[in-house]
Each structure stands twice: as structure tokens, then as C-alpha cells.
């Protein structure tokens, strides 16, 4: 009798988990977090990592354990290059494709996809720049690729991502690209 109940419980749990992954779903929420930015420059520049912020909206469409997650958020990316502090404020639009495993309010996700960044502000402050000839001339739109993983606990999600710059960040002859890590906390509204 005990084996029958255990077998029945396993079958019901398996059916519930598989059904939860098959049914199409839509989720929508808000997110916020921080990033750590590095500006890679082929050649002469030395850069240091600096913290920034992000905040915005996300949506997730999924079925059969796979999902599509478009997002839009405002982000601040800060770097220091040759005593020049540069702060980029942009609207980033990632289009992520991934998968999810788990059930009963707990799950693990993995994803990857392209990101388009639209610059809103490109501030530069010169601390010791009297003899510095470095001028950072940044583009208004850039492309990158994100990959990462996340954990869902009921309506909360925690994500860790790496973003690799695909396009040059500025108009100079070198290859200047932004790379960053971001850690975010999201809340599902529905």
C-alpha cells in the first residue's frame, strides 16, 4: 500500500510538472539591479571596472520549457579611461531566448540573445586631462550579446548576465567595445 501511494505521488507530480511546462504562458514584471562595466580598447587605453545601475520592464512568453523574453530598461554604464570618467545612460532592449526547468514556483532559467542600446546621455569628466589628448566620441546606438542564468522563486527572479559588445562604441579607428556583468532582481506583476 505504501508503494502504491509513493508511485501515485510521483506520477501526479510528474504530470503536474510536465503540464506546467507545456501550457503557453505570459508574464510581465519590473526589474532593477546593478552592473559592472569594462571598456575594452585595442591598443593603448587602460580602463577600470565601475558600477552602474539598471531598471525597467520585462515580459516572458513561454511554452514547452522554452521562452522569449523581451526587455526594456534604462542603464548607467560607467568607465574610466586615461583619467576620463565616462558615464553612458542608455535604453537597452535585449531580446532573449532561453529555457526553464522547475515547477511549483521554483525554477532555473538560462538564456541568450542580442541587445540594442540607445544612448540617452554620454557624459565625460576630465580630472587630469590638461595634457591628455584622449577624446571619447561615442555612438548613439550599439549592439551587444547577452548570456546568463536566473532563478525564479514564486514572483521573484534573480538574474546574472554577461554582455559582450559586438559593435564599436565610438568613432575612432580602434576597436572600443563595452563588456559588462549585471545582477538584477525582478518582480512578476502578472
- CA 138, 147, 114, 184 torsion-angle sign: negative
Spatial contact of 165 and 179, defined as CB atoms under 8 Å apart: yes
pLDDT confidence band for 111 (50 / 70 / 90): very high
Question: 25-188 sits in which CATH class?
Answer: mainly beta
- pTM of the complete model: 0.75
Range picked from 22-26, 38-42, 146-150 for highest mean pLDDT: 146-150
pLDDT confidence band for 54 (50 / 70 / 90): very high
pLDDT at 118 (0 to 100): 92
pLDDT confidence band for 41 (50 / 70 / 90): low
DSSP string, 47-108: EEEEEEEEEEEEEEEEETTEEEEEEEEEEEEEEEETTEEEEEEEEEEEEEEEEEEEETTEEE
Rounded Cα gap, residues 115 and 163, in angstroms: 8
Higher pLDDT pick, 90 / 134:
90
pLDDT per residue as tens digits for the range 124-142: 555 544 444 445 556 778 8
DSSP string, 99-154: EEEEETTEEEEEEEEEEEEEEEEEEEEESS-SS------B-SEEEEEEEEEEEEET
Give me the count of residues in the chain.
190
Short-list 71, 138, 146, CA closest to 110: 146
Rounded Cα gap, residues 105 and 26, in angstroms: 15
Amino acid at each position: 500500500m505504501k508503494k502504491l501511494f509513493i508511485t501515485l505521488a510521483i506520477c501526479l507530480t510528474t504530470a503536474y510538472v510536465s503540464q506546467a511546462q507545456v501550457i503557453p504562458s505570459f508574464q510581465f514584471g519590473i526589474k532593477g539591479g546593478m552592473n559592472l562595466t569594462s571598456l575594452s580598447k585595442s591598443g593603448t587605453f587602460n580602463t577600470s571596472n565601475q558600477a552602474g545601475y539598471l531598471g525597467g520592464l520585462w515580459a516572458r512568453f513561454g511554452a514547452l520549457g522554452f521562452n522569449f523574453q523581451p526587455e526594456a530598461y534604462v542603464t548607467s554604464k560607467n568607465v574610466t579611461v586615461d583619467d576620463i570618467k565616462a558615464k553612458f545612460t542608455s535604453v537597452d532592449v535585449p531580446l532573449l531566448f532561453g529555457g526553464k526547468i522547475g515547477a511549483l514556483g521554483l525554477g532555473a532559467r538560462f538564456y541568450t540573445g542580442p541587445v540594442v542600446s540607445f544612448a540617452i546621455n554620454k557624459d565625460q569628466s576630465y580630472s587630469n586631462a590638461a595634457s591628455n589628448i584622449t577624446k571619447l566620441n561615442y555612438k548613439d546606438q550599439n549592439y551587444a550579446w547577452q548570456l546568463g542564468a536566473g532563478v525564479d522563486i514564486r514572483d521573484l527572479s534573480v538574474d546574472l548576465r554577461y554582455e559582450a559588445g559586438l559593435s564599436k562604441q565610438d568613432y575612432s579607428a580602434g576597436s572600443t567595445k563595452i563588456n559588462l556583468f549585471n545582477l538584477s532582481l525582478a518582480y512578476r506583476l502578472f
